[in-house]
């Protein structure tokens, strides 16, 4: 389990799609993908009349949740701008080694010895990943 997965497990409920095991295969489709009919979705199943074609993920209000956690924390943690504080708030290892591992996991191409630049990049990428997986993240915290 990677560091990003650990972050997701702290933010999203265990039943949330963001916490699905990596490599989990989607359910097999009823219709072969090579021969979709005009009345089927991309997954190969017929849509239910009156129902949306895709069930949206339940959105998690990340700002509200993290602000609540920060208020209860004995430390003053600025999760909005600091990847270190975000990781501390979530009860995760925020050491330089852990952040370098997260940078590797997220394919950081910069110099990991420039921790200030790496930390800024990590925070933005983590917020983008949270938003992409159903987290409601303030617009100023993501690309």
Cβ-Cβ contacts under 8 Å for 5 (sequence gap 6 or more): 19, 22
For residues 25-41, give the mean pLDDT. Answer: 42
- Distance separating alpha carbons of residues 20 and 1, to the nearest angstrom: 11
- Distance separating alpha carbons of residues 86 and 66, to the nearest angstrom: 8
- Distance separating alpha carbons of residues 22 and 131, to the nearest angstrom: 18
Predicted confidence band of residue 58 (pLDDT cuts 50, 70, 90):
low
Q: Which residue has better confidence, 53 or 97?
A: 97
The pLDDT assigned to 130 comes to: 95
pLDDT above 90 coverage of the chain, percent? 64
The pTM of this model reads 0.71
Residue pair 97/105 in contact (Cβ under 8 Å)? The answer is no
Pairing of β 135-136 and β 60-61: parallel
Q: What is the DSSP string of the chain?
A: --HHHHHHHHHS-TTSGGGSPTTPPPPPPSS-TTS--TTS-TTS-PPPTTS-SSPPPPPEEHHHHHHHHHHH-SS---TTT-HHHHHHHTT---SHHHHHHHHHHTT--S-TT-HHHHHHHHHHHHHHHHHHTTEE--GGG--
């Amino acid at each position: 389990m990677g560091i990003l997965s650990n972050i997701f497990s702290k933010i999203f409920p265990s039943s949330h799609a963001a916490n699905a095991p990596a490599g989990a295969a989607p359910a097999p489709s009823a219709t072969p993908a090579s021969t979709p009919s005009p009345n089927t979705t991309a997954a190969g199943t017929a849509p239910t009349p009156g129902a949306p074609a895709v069930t949206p993920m339940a959105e998690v209000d990340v700002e509200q949740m993290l602000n609540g956690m920060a208020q209860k924390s004995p430390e003053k943690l600025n999760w909005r701008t600091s990847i270190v504080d975000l990781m501390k708030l979530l009860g995760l290892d925020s050491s330089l080694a852990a952040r370098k591992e997260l940078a590797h996991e997220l394919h950081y191409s910069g110099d990991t010895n420039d921790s200030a630049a790496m930390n800024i990049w990590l925070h933005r990428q983590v917020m983008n990943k949270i938003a992409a997986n159903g987290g409601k993240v303030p617009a100023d915290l993501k690309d």
